[in-house]
Homo-oligomer: A and B are copies of this chain.
Amino acid sequence: MKLAVFGAGAVGRSVAELAAEYGHTVTALADSSGAVVDADGIDVESVLARKQSDGAVGDADPETALESEYDVLVEATPTTLGDAQPGFGHAREAFARDRHVVLANKGPVAERYDELRALSRDSEGSLLFEATVGGAIPVLSTIEDVGADNVTAVRGVLNGTANFVLSRMATERLSYEHVLAEAQDLGVAEADPSFDVDGTDAALKCAILANVLFDGGHTLSDADVDGIRDLPGSALELAAEDGWTIRLVGEVARDGVSVGPRLVPENGTLAVSGTRNIVQFETKYAGRLNISGRGAGGPETATAVLADVTRLERES
């Protein structure tokens, strides 16, 4: 398949780098400042080297990438809230041209799912977004495998940064501020970590899960969200005395979405450590299903994007 990749951050770059190995061709790469387009396939290595040295992937107007020849638009620009722009606009343009859309950007599917589904219905193009929940973990495919109707609720640890902070606080008995600074040094937390530690990122993923499971209607604003910023180290120490620990857990059920610090058994399934993510599905006839793995990272998330592309190819 020919891919037009929007966004040249960690995920967009990895998609471009791994595309050939999955048998696909990158025909356009665009970020906010420019684009490079070549219907025969761009030279990914030199384009990314240029981005590294000059800060821009190319001289062309990003608009030219939208108008170029491609089968799938890969939306990997930064997640934004509310109107979810510019990601939503890119998806709309692609659907208007009857192209497929694969999202790594959570904004459009968390904030404007119903509109996006309507655009997809009116288009020959299909919509997939495995990469938006749980990075490399095939969370949405698993829902499809099991059947959305058979999943009654989902619970999960969906933010690696918050999980890294909580697991380090618990095992090393360090303060939130100390561990956060360490996480920033390691590149696990952003300079402004609010999106992760305030629970916003996990809540967006839960809104997406709710949309998939319960046929739309959910946005971030419906979610009940608490972060870990004000969690005292003493809470973790108290929990540990009785064999418990604390994780930032997202819960998705028919009556709504909530995210917050929750007590979980110290050696239990939800107490994943470091930056790992885990998702638990409650099913009608088959009890609980757990799936865990790497919930973030450029190459990891790119594998989810490329699996979506491969699926579109198989189905087309």
Q: Please give the residue numbers on chain A whose beta carbons come within 8 Å of chain B beta carbons, in ascending order.
A: 18, 22, 130, 135-138, 141-142, 145-147, 150, 267, 269, 283, 285-294, 297, 299-300, 302-304, 307, 310
User: Are B285 and A302 neighbours in the complex by a CB distance under 8 Å?
Assistant: yes
Nearest CB in chain B: distance from A246 CB, A: 17
- Nearest B residue to A289, CB-CB: B293
User: Are B294 and A291 neighbours in the complex by a CB distance under 8 Å?
Assistant: no
Q: A138-B142, A142-B142, A303-B146 are in contact. Are A289 and B287 (CB under 8 A)?
A: no
4 interchain residue pairs of minimum CB distance = A136-B286, A141-B145, A289-B293, A138-B145
| Set of chain B residues within 8 Å of A141, measured between Cβ atoms | 141-142, 145
- Nearest B residue to A142, CB-CB: B138
What are 29 pairs between A and B in contact, CB < 8 Å? A18-B285, A22-B147, A135-B286, A136-B283, A136-B286, A137-B289, A138-B146, A141-B141, A141-B142, A142-B145, A142-B291, A145-B145, A147-B307, A283-B303, A285-B300, A285-B302, A286-B293, A286-B294, A286-B299, A286-B300, A286-B304, A287-B293, A287-B300, A288-B293, A288-B294, A289-B291, A290-B291, A290-B292, A291-B291
Bound form: Cα–Cα A150–B136 in Å? 12
Q: A145-B307, A307-B147 are in contact. Are A294 and B290 (CB under 8 A)?
A: no
- Nearest B residue to A136, CB-CB: B286
